Structure formats: C-alpha cells, structure tokens
Amino acid sequence: MKTKVFSLLLTCLVFQTFMFGQAKEMVLIEGSRYLPLYGRDSTVVAVKDFKMDVYPVSVEEYMTFLKDNPKWRKSNVKGLFADKSYLSNWESDLKMNESVNPNSPITNVSWFAAKAYCECQDKRLPTVDEWEYAAMADETTKDARVKPDYNARILSWYEEPRKELIIGDSPKNIWGVYDLHGLVWEWTLDFNSVLITGESRKDTDKDSNLFCGSASINATDLMNYAAFMRYAIRGSLQAKNSMKNLGFRCVKDVNELK
C-alpha cells in the first residue's frame, strides 16, 4: 500500500515539475484593441491578456504526449479525428523518421490532436485574433504591419519555405515569441471562423469551429497579402486535416495562471 502511495506521489510530483517547466516557456502577451484583416463589421477587436508558448510544439514534446496518450498514436487515432496524412512522416507509433530533428516543430497533426495536446498541458490553442495579434509584432514594434519590410520578409518565406526546420532559429519578436513566421503554419482554435455563415464574426454555432464555411469577408487591408494567405489556408482546412508544414503552439488565459 505504501509503495502505491509513494508511486502516486512521485507521479504527481513529476507532473507538477513538468507543468512548471512548461509554464516557464510562456510569455505574457498584453492585450489591446486591433484591426484584424477580416471582420464582418470592419471594427477593431479587443484581445485580452494571455500567455503564449515561446516556441511551437516540438517533435520531441509530441512524442512525450503520444507515450502518455496512446489513442493519439497513428495506429490508434480514429479517422474522424485525423486523416491519412496524420504523422505520415513517422515510421511507427513511437518512432520518427531518422531524418526528422527532435527539435523541429511537430507537423502532420490534425486540429483535434493539437487541441488535445494543449488541453493535456492545461492550456488551449490560440484564437485567430490572439495568434494574429501576437504575430503582427516584429523584433521592435508591437504592430509592424505598416512596415514594408515586415510583410516582405513574411512573403519571402511563403514563396520559398525553409528546408531545415529548427525551432528558435529565427529572431524573437518584441513579446519574446519565436517562429510565428518563417517556420510552419500554425493551427488556431477557431481556424475558419472568418469564413462562416451567421450573424456575427464570432458565430456561436459549435460546428463553426470544426468545418469550412462558405462566406468570405472583405479584407480591411488589401496590401497585407501575408495575412490574406494565412486566412486562406485556414479557410481551406477541416479539423481532421494534417499538413507537412502545419504545426501549432498553445496559450493560456492569464486568470487561469497561478
């Protein structure tokens, strides 16, 4: 009996240590109001304070998740939650292709899998607004969208993606977040919420978080081609889809942090 109690305490201690380590790799994003590329009423959106992972989730971190959550391994995952491309670059359930760097961002994961990973960390996926708000910063400015070189640099990556994907290999932005641009696309919680039918931009229909919609909205900044491409990619996805250049990172509400 004592052995079982000790084992349980040790497991909890390891889990708490792991969670604390995870939390240390997050930074505060101070919320404000901003004008998104798309909006049904073309008005500003209020973003509350939140914390964001400094780095996208790595292959090595996802491996740990799979060890603890067998239902998300490629041989076990249900077709409803992941298509045939899910972890297609893995040799087996717990073995990566030898050419994959453990410190590269995890890709070929569905929205369902990414969401499950974040929830296991007591976090969540960022909303489109949270992601775009954090990503509009460069190394020195919180809103760098007016800078020609900011958009040009992002577009150059979209035109010719990097062949070697190493996390943290690009400069961090003013918030202290790495790789929002220049590495992989990233899932968001409401990835296709802009292209849905309904009375408001934040449609409350549960299906709006899962499946592609039919209505496109006029852009507020016709010169921001980089953001337009991100919205277009998101709008083309279904939640079970996986792509070789699509990863994710997690966020957490400030009021949930201890």
Whether residue 63 lies inside any domain: the answer is yes
Instruction: Decide if 12 is inside a domain.
Output: no
User: Has residue 162 been placed in a domain?
Assistant: yes
Can you give the pLDDT at residue 160? 77
* Tokens encoding 152: 């040009």
**DSSP for the chain?**
-HHHHHHHHHHHHHHHHHHHHHHHTEEEE--EEE--SB-SS---EEE--EEEESSPPBHHHHHHHHHH-GGGSTTT--TTT--TTTTTTEEETTEE-TTS-TTSBP-S--HHHHHHHHHHTT-BPPPHHHHHHHHT--SS-S--TT-HHHHHHHHHHHHS--SS--TT-S---TTS---SSSS-EE--TTTTGGG--SSSSS---GGGGTS--S----BS-TT-HHHHHHHHHHHT--TT---TTEE---EEEGGG--
Q: How many independent structural domains does the chain possess? A: 1
7 assigned to some structural domain: no
Query: Is position 218 within any domain?
Result: yes
Return the closest-CA partner of residue 106 out of 8, 198, 183, 197.
183
Residue 236's CATH number:
3.90.1580.10
The reply to whether 138 falls in a domain is yes
What is the spatial distance between Cα 207 and Cα 212, in angstroms, rounded to a whole number? 9
Tens digits of pLDDT across the chain (258 residues): 444 433 433 333 343 334 334 445 999 999 999 988 765 555 789 999 999 999 999 999 999 999 999 999 999 999 999 999 999 999 999 998 888 899 999 999 999 999 999 999 999 999 999 999 999 999 999 999 888 888 888 888 888 777 778 999 888 999 999 999 989 999 999 998 765 443 334 444 443 333 333 223 344 454 567 888 888 888 899 999 999 999 999 999 997 544
Residue 1: per-residue pLDDT: 46
Strand 26-29, strand 50-53: pairing: antiparallel
For residue 97, the model assigns a pLDDT of: 86
Q: Is residue 224 part of a domain?
A: yes
Q: Residue 152: give the domain boundaries.
A: 26-256
